[in-house]
């Protein structure tokens, strides 16, 4: 407001719209008495009200996500080459590890089989030698000339048929 007691300038009217408590006493008293300044204030408030209403009408719903044209999310299918390459790498590594384990284990297994075969051949050679040249005195229990009475006694113990026939 000028010293000639003219009306409030536009900046002072806008300040009165924002916060009337922020005005000086002279500006506040002029605004409460001057119909022209009150009209300017009401016109600015009406413009702000119209602007707010238009913003509410034209603004997107808060549930929807605002997306810019260049901000397109990548779909899962766009990652497909990466997944395929990763899967191929995993299969390649697994194949290499499996081959290394299998060939190593096959070599170990073959060497173990060869050692066992050699031991078996030695054992069979010893058995054949004992079979042909077995001294009867050292192995009397397995020879055909063992104690016959002991054998008969054992058979009577296992199947006592004579006792059952005498009892009947």
The answer to whether residue 68 sits within a structural domain is: no
The answer to whether residue 145 sits within a structural domain is: no
pLDDT value of position 126: 87
The answer to whether residue 126 sits within a structural domain is: yes
Q: Are residues 94 and 52 in the same domain?
A: no
CA distance 146 to 153: 13
Domain that holds residue 120: 88-138
Please determine, for residue 8, whether its predicted confidence score (pLDDT) is greater than 70: yes
pLDDT per residue as tens digits for the range 46-100: 998 998 898 888 877 777 676 666 655 667 677 788 889 999 999 999 999 888 8
The answer to whether residue 116 sits within a structural domain is: yes
The answer to whether residue 164 sits within a structural domain is: no
The answer to whether residue 166 sits within a structural domain is: no
Number of domains in the chain: 2
């Amino acid at each position: 407001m000028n010293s000639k007691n003219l009306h409030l300038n536009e900046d002072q009217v806008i300040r009165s719209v924002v916060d009337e408590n922020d005005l000086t006493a002279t500006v506040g008293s002029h605004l409460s008495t001057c119909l022209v300044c009150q009209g300017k204030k009401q016109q600015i408030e009406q413009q702000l009200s119209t602007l707010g209403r238009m913003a509410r009408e034209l603004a997107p719903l808060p549930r929807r996500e605002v997306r810019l044209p260049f901000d397109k999310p990548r779909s899962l299918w766009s990652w497909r080459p990466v997944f395929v390459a990763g899967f191929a790498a995993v299969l390649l590594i697994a194949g290499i590890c499996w081959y290394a384990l299998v060939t190593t284990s096959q070599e170990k297994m073959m060497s173990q089989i060869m050692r066992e075969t050699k031991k078996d051949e030695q054992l069979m050679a010893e058995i054949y030698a004992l079979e042909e040249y077995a001294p009867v005195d050292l192995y009397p229990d397995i020879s055909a000339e063992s104690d016959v009475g002991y054998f008969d006694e054992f058979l009577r113990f296992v199947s006592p048929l004579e006792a059952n026939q005498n009892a009947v």
